[in-house]
Structure 1
Amino acid sequence: MYRPCTFGIEEEYLLVDLGSGRLLAKPSPAVSLCCREVLGEYYADELFRCQIELASPVFDSLQQAQCFFSERRYCLEQALAEHGVGLYCAGSHPNAEWLRQRPGAAPHHRQLFTDYQYVARRSVASGLHVHVGVPAACDRIRLINSLVYWLPLLLVLSTSSPLWGGQVTGYMSYRRVLCGEWPHMGLPEPLPDWPAYQRYRALLQRSGSLAADGAFWWALRPSHRYPTVELRICDGCPQLEDALCIAGLFRHLVEACVAASNPATPVNREIHWITQENYWRALRHGRHAEFIGVHQQQPVTAEGWLAQLSHRYPPDSVDALHAFVQARRIVLEGTSADRQLACHAAASAAGLSAQQALRAVVEQVLGEACRLP
């Protein structure tokens, strides 16, 4: 009998000086210790010293995830405030000053800076990752082929990185533009099955393009460490309810495809082309874009695309229903990127300086991250 899939969530956070609104290029030992003590076993270092990760335990329900992240976010925010530090939960900081940021202490992160140079140094950005466990017999590459078309829609719901380097970038997810500078960090390769994936991986390892223990960073990938498929396309979400919505939708998608009598979608170059186009539109325009729909490739809005998803994979649980309701609210009312741009425009229209307008955005994002669902 089919059973619901378990899942886990990883959130990346940036550490901000509450006095200036700037990123902490080198957090003090006291701040680093504070993060480790509050998050305990769920703490992880990240690519930059100004960045940390909260990696959850395995969940069975969105309620469990909400309780866990509400408590951890609140406790960490309160503890960091005593050090004059804020928790910044968004895809990018509006003025990250990436040349000032220092690599994390872990040898793995330092090696990335050595290997990728400016590409690594520029990647001051935070994502939301969701793992969903699948049965051992499931071919995860064939499963990914069933899921890949919907990836840009999940990105739309998360967009939160419209400002970069003190400028309005014109992109709702500039973080994904930065991701495009890395190898193996775009959409997953259109491979037919797990054996083909293993051959592809072996080829790159033989040619020196991938380390023996290396992993791909695709927008959706089979996890190298866990029996999961891992969603990596999404920006970090200031509002926890948005992150939970995305986790719930992705889990529902995986469950629906795993439970289907013929869950695997064969490699289809046309679907790959359409997904690439929708991906570009999603990172550029977010929920305001016109997408290529699932029915006869007709134009569709983000709201219409979400309705197509609901029609193809109807919600069959309380968690899935809640996720669809929240997703519709997001596409109608706006994402963090919309709110950041509105805040920046209002501050500029009020006569604030460029730096003051950026600071207003920082304050808005910090405030949303502290709001409990």
Structure 2
Amino acid sequence: MGRPCTFGIEEEYLLVALDSGRVLSAPSAALTRLCREVLGACFAEEMFRSQIELASPVFDTLHQARAFLTEQRQRLSQALAGEGAGLYCAASHPSAQWLRQHPRATPHFRQLFDDYRLVARRSLLNGLHVHVGVPPGLDRMQVINRVLYWLPLLLALSTSSPYWGGQDTGYMSYRRVVCGEWPHMGLPEPLPDWSAYERYRALLQRTGTLAEDGDFWWAIRPSRRFPTVELRICDGCPRLEDALAIAGLFRHLVEHAQGRHTGTASREMRWITQENYWRALRHGRQGVFIGIEEQQPVSAEAWLAQLQVQCPADSADAERAFMGAWRILREGTSADHQRELLAAAIAEGEDKAGALHRVVKLVVSETGGVVLHR
């Protein structure tokens, strides 16, 4: 294994009304200012006026990350509660009317909506992004190739978007279905090294496909702003402990990849990763996947066990991350809990709207400890 890596976490949140649970399509300028004041330098705007991002400082340990994110979630949730608003961190809102949402009017986001139209308008989604620092001189594309196979497992651990437009989509991560409508937002291109990445990027820029300062939005990518690899495949996690387990596992994978010297994944492994990706977004932790050992069908539990064999824990943080992942597989993801709650509410006589409201109430409570008014 290489030396311990620093890391950072980005979480996206929707702003919802505490009385109705609805997404605030046009929150006031004062409410946005309040978010900015509470989060300070960690505040970032997102595509919609109803959405914000918390971008953490650089961490050395999961303990630091837990303390910081717990405090920021609680402070922001309490401040917003005073204005009748709450934070919603799951990857999709079960009944949001996305066409009624107001795009952010800054030039960057205006350009996105002009370029991608209805695809951008539909993307009322929250993701969990994790940056892990890569030491100078280490080829970040090679690191990405070495950890790529395990990304669908991290998605399966994070799923939180089973509902869309008031309907059960049949997917545990409908967010990743919507992401598939965007260019350069699936698995990264099979580029063997940094030189190939630069040639690929130059080709797209030369042909007018990618702006000079344009980004790829791959499920994992080399950051343009930081010397990191960035995990982007995961749904937002209302329960902070889930997000920390995933961040810890991803950091551990990147640290383990520093000591290996293989190039790009084989074509066959790319096929398997793509298939596992679809199974993860469709079935989540309940899926049957293609394992790395003899390429046989495995459960999510057996797949995680294979990861422990391939990349054994060698630090207290890695141990905690594996323990968190086992807990998720045992207890369920947010998507599992949302479905269980909706089924229970309907069994108790709630109508569909009331049952979906209970789902929103659960997510808001898990995100920041604030409860909807009804």
Same fold (TM over 0.5): yes
Of the three residues 266, 279, 282, the one matched with 2:280 is 282
Partner of 2:168: 168
Using structure 2 for the length normalisation, give the TM-score: 0.97
In structure 2, C-alpha distance between the alignment counterparts of 1:236 and 1:317, rounded to whole Å:
26
In structure 2, C-alpha distance between the alignment counterparts of 1:29 and 1:232, rounded to whole Å:
29
Residue 170 of structure 2 aligns with an amino acid whose one-letter code is G
The answer as to 2:142 corresponding to 1:137 is no
Partner of 1:318: 316
The answer as to 2:298 corresponding to 1:304 is no
Aligned partners of 2:77 and 2:369 also within 8 Å:
no
In structure 2, C-alpha distance between the alignment counterparts of 1:185 and 1:96, rounded to whole Å:
23
Of the three residues 352, 357, 360, the one matched with 1:359 is 357
Aligned partners of 1:191 and 1:267 also within 8 Å:
no
Aligned partners of 1:257 and 1:264 also within 8 Å:
no
In structure 2, C-alpha distance between the alignment counterparts of 1:78 and 1:89, rounded to whole Å:
15
Q: Give the secondary structure class of the aligned counterpart of 1:327.
A: helix
Deviation per residue, 1:44-91 (Å, 9 max, x gap): 000000000000000000011011100000000000000000100111
Partner of 1:16: 16
Within 5 Å, give how 1:155-304 maps onto structure 2: 155-258=155-258, 260=259, 262-304=260-302
Using structure 1 for the length normalisation, give the TM-score: 0.98
In structure 2, C-alpha distance between the alignment counterparts of 1:287 and 1:265, rounded to whole Å:
29
Partner of 2:107: 107
Partner of 1:368: 366
Partner of 2:147: 147
Residue 365 of structure 2 aligns with an amino acid whose one-letter code is G
Please give the root-mean-square deviation of Cα atoms over the aligned residues, in Å: 1.2
Aligned partners of 2:2 and 2:256 also within 8 Å:
no
| Deviation of the 1:257 alpha carbon | 0.8
Deviation per residue, 1:17-47 (Å, 9 max, x gap): 1111100001012211110110001000000
Q: Give the secondary structure class of the aligned counterpart of 1:12.
A: strand
Within 5 Å, give how 1:50-69 maps onto structure 2: 50-69=50-69
In structure 2, C-alpha distance between the alignment counterparts of 1:267 and 1:153, rounded to whole Å:
17
Deviation per residue, 1:231-266 (Å, 9 max, x gap): 0000000000000000000000000111x2x33343
| Deviation of the 1:136 alpha carbon | 1.2
Aligned partners of 1:176 and 1:233 also within 8 Å:
yes
| Deviation of the 1:2 alpha carbon | 4.5
Aligned partners of 1:239 and 1:371 also within 8 Å:
no
Query: Unpaired runs of 5+ in structure 2?
Result: none
In structure 2, C-alpha distance between the alignment counterparts of 1:130 and 1:40, rounded to whole Å:
20
In structure 1, C-alpha distance between the alignment counterparts of 2:31 and 2:256, rounded to whole Å:
43
The answer as to 2:338 corresponding to 1:340 is yes
Aligned partners of 1:161 and 1:337 also within 8 Å:
yes
Q: Give the length in aligned residue pairs.
A: 370
In structure 2, C-alpha distance between the alignment counterparts of 1:263 and 1:284, rounded to whole Å:
33
| Deviation of the 1:123 alpha carbon | 0.3
Q: Give the secondary structure class of the aligned counterpart of 1:92.
A: coil
Q: Give the secondary structure class of the aligned counterpart of 1:117.
A: helix
Partner of 1:73: 73
Residue 85 of structure 1 aligns with an amino acid whose one-letter code is A
Q: Give the secondary structure class of the aligned counterpart of 1:232.
A: strand
| Deviation of the 1:368 alpha carbon | 1.1
Partner of 2:85: 85
Residue 297 of structure 2 aligns with an amino acid whose one-letter code is P
Aligned partners of 2:88 and 2:238 also within 8 Å:
yes
Aligned partners of 2:146 and 2:265 also within 8 Å:
no
Q: Give the secondary structure class of the aligned counterpart of 1:368.
A: helix
Aligned partners of 1:294 and 1:308 also within 8 Å:
yes
| Deviation of the 1:371 alpha carbon | 4.8
